Each structure stands twice: as C-alpha cells, then as structure tokens.
Amino acid sequence: MIRYVAGLDKGKGLYFLFVKSESKTAGGLPARPVLTSYYKSHHFRARPFDPYNVYTSPTAAVLCADAFQSMYSQMLCGLLDRLDVLRVGAVFASGLLRAIRFLQLHWKQLAHDIATGTLSSKITDSAIRDAVAQVLKPDPALSEFIASECSPGDWAGIITRIWPNTKYLDVIVTGAMAQYIPTLEYYSGGLPMACTMYASSECYFGLNLRPMCKPSEVSYTIMPNMAYFEFLPLDSAAANADAPPQLADLAGVEVGKEYELVITTYAGLYRYRVGDILLVTGFHNAAPQFRFVRRKNVLLSIESDKTDEAELQRAVERASELLRPWGASVVEYTSQADTRVIPGHYVIYWELLVKGGEGGGWPGKEVFEACCLEMEEAMNAVYRQSRTADGSIGPLEIRVVRGGTFEELMDYAIARGASINQYKVPRCVTFPPIIELLDSRVVETHISPACPKWSPRPN
C-alpha cells in the first residue's frame, strides 16, 4: 500500500477487528478461524511499533470476545482519533457496514462518553477500560460535532465526514462481498476500496498487486511458497465425472480458464478442495493471477457464513414438519440474502399447499415464526454463531407467496430462453426482476422471534 498511497506513516488505521470464540473438534483439538488465531498470537499482541501500521483500536478491544464491547470501544477510539485516521477498514465489507450500523444505533451514547470523558458502564471488560482510560478525556466540541453529523439521520458520506482524512477503505469486496459495494460507496462518498488479500483459515493464498484498482478488476497473485497449489479445470471435472481428475500445476494453468483450487498444506491437508472457483487473468513473472469467481455450492452468505443448497433444503424440510398438523406443506421455495438493511438476513420464499379438511387450515403467525426459528436451528454452526453471539446476521424471514407464483417464475425463465425440459427452480435468486416478481406476490411475512442455539462447545 505504501507504493500506492503516500503518507500512510503519518496517521492511523481505523480497523474494526474481532475475535470469535473457539470450539474444540471431536478429537479435542482447538478450532478457530485464522484471524482469531493471529490476533491472539504473540506476533500480533507484542508487535513492534511500525509507523505504517498504527491502529486506533487498542489490542484489548480487538481481543474482547464480547462483540458489543469490542465494537463499542473500537468505534469510540476511532472517533477520538478521527483526524489521524487515514484509512478505514475491516476484513470483509460486511464487517465495516456493521460498524457503520453500530454508529447509527449508538452515536448518542458514544457522544455522551466523549462529552463527559467517562466510559459507558456497559463496558465491563477491565482490559478495555484500562486501555480506553488512557485516551478518553472530556471533549465537548468533538461530542457536539458527532451529534451534529449523526442526528439529522443523513448517512450519505458519513465515513468521510467523520474521518475526513481517509484516503481509502481497506476491505475485501470481491466474491460474496461484492453485494455490499453500492452501500459502501454511499457511506464513503465513493472512496477507493482496496482488496489486498485472498486467504482462508486453511491457508494463505495470494495478494492483490494492484490494490487501488476497481473491485471488478481485482486479481490475486498466488504466493507459491504458501502451500502446494494445484488446479482442477472446471470443464474437465464436468465432462468426465468418472475419470480421475487431471490437475494442473501452478505454472501450468491457462489464461481465460476457470479452475477449482486444490491445496496441500504444511499443516497436513492433502489435496484439499477449498471450494473456490478462480479464473486465470494473467501472470506475475511465473505466478498466475486469479479473479475470484465464486464459492462452489454456496447459495447464501451474509458474512463468514456459507450455506449450501443441501443445508437450505434440510432447513426447509425441518421447518415444514411444523406445518403438518395444519395439513400444509411447502411446495416450492427459493431464497435471497437480503443485505439492504444491516445486518443482512436470509429471506426464504415459500409457496404452500394447504389441504384444509380435518385438522387443516391456514397456519397462524406463531406457527410461521416457529418455522423461521426451526430453519435457523437447522443451519450450520457458523451461521448460528453469527446470529447469536455476534449479531452479524439478522433474524431469518419467511415470505409466503400466493399459489402459482413459482409457475410464474418458470414462465418468466422460459420467456427468457430457458428450456422447459431442463428448468429447475433456482434455490437462490439475485436477479432484481425475479426478486420484484416474488415480492409482488407475497401474502405474509414472518420473522424469527429468537436466536437459534449456539455454543462454543461442539454438540
């Protein structure tokens, strides 16, 4: 970044960084996401001073597992240092938008703390209180400024209004995160967005060597020393489902082709299929560069959650059991990750068949709400953790559409050239005219009334 943006050593980075609670595998090994591992490590906690990497967030705030206390104190420190902030970021776009949402909800309390120089009693973590005490002094002028920017409820360009020296946003907006680009543009007044890295908990993959390029042009250069990388050509996998796959080596991939990433890591994963589909866009010396195309089989994703078709199917099946006593069943369904309001949430469209007759009838509100919660209970642990412990995913919503809607959906697809023989109901929809069609046929909407169960211990 130093090569692309001058003066980053003259200020600070406001990064919203979080740890997640850990779990244990059935075999007793600790399991945690890579960034939680890194932030808790000696490398991060005892990092030497580096003028290019000075953060406004105290380490104690990053390390606090309570999402509210962590976010509150990181936002407070970011506000106190507002004129020093040169870049604003989070790992993924969803994290940064959560921070903005947090500001919208809590600016009054934050402004109060700044005016009085006292930290809210909701912050009970003693390490955070000690760290914040070092920087929090009464500053009525700053408090008034924050109130004047936030109270009108106009959030356009809020990032540059509060942190006027911000040169760019440091967030990943490729892959599933691309859905957040327009919202980030709105809040930042069009600041550039730098996607610097492509990584996973299993392995670090690559860097973006042109970090200031447009999000749609981002390519990641694989770092050959991070693992042994191989590539499964997408077309060959489809053509010869029974034949052993022919993997390409790192230097053997072809520009313009799509591959599934396969890694053999120092930690012991052998020919592990990460699940990412990548397109080769060029080479940096002999190292190939890839555009992230999509995550294989992922239908829905709000932040780190990844829900595939089989999981969604299971969740719908579990929930529709609750309709049985009413003689009702789900005849068709599809879904959408709705991120227009932060935190985003899953929307599931249901078309029902209600037989009526003895014991039958249209199920009541409480039944549908129970169905929403049942679907959430059926989701994977990452989803439930994000919902329950982190609050980074909102409550699941069921939208019941009137009878015949899915037939209309099919008519629409056929009118646009789909084959009647091979038409399949899409289990996730993103195309705006289809979403409009579905929404215009909604007869009832229901929201999950509670959080699903989640525990850091495996079930």
Q: Which residues are near ligand AMP by CB under 6 A?
A: 33-34, 172, 174-175, 195, 198-201, 274, 276, 292, 295, 304
Nearer Cβ to ligand AMP, position 198 or 326?
A: 198
Place of tokens 């890295």: 197
Q: Kind and range of the H or E element at 96?
A: helix 93-116
Nearer Cβ to ligand AMP, position 40 or 295?
A: 295
Minimum CB distance to ligand AMP, residue 94 (Å): 12
For the CA atoms of 203, 376, 454, 129, the dihedral, rounded to the nearest 10 degrees, stands at 80
For the CA atoms of 148, 149, 151, 152, the dihedral, rounded to the nearest 10 degrees, stands at 110
Minimum CB distance to ligand AMP, residue 365 (Å): 36
Which of 218, 270, 285, 224 is CA-nearest to residue 250? 224
Question: From the centroid of its chain, how far is CA 25?
Answer: 24
Minimum CB distance to ligand AMP, residue 99 (Å): 19
Minimum CB distance to ligand AMP, residue 34 (Å): 6
Minimum CB distance to ligand AMP, residue 258 (Å): 14
Nearer Cβ to ligand AMP, position 207 or 322?
A: 207
For the CA atoms of 234, 240, 246, 251, the dihedral, rounded to the nearest 10 degrees, stands at -30
204-207 and 220-222: which strand pairing? antiparallel
Place of tokens 């407070």: 76
Nearer Cβ to ligand AMP, position 188 or 301?
A: 301
Nearer Cβ to ligand AMP, position 257 or 295?
A: 295
- For residues 275 and 297, is the Cβ–Cβ distance under 8 A? yes
Nearer Cβ to ligand AMP, position 374 or 390?
A: 390
168-172 and 193-194: which strand pairing? parallel
**Among all residues, whose Cβ is closest to ligand AMP?**
175
Minimum CB distance to ligand AMP, residue 295 (Å): 4
Nearer Cβ to ligand AMP, position 56 or 179?
A: 179
CB neighbours of 78 closer than 8 A, spacing ≥ 6? 14, 56, 57, 85, 88, 163
Minimum CB distance to ligand AMP, residue 349 (Å): 26
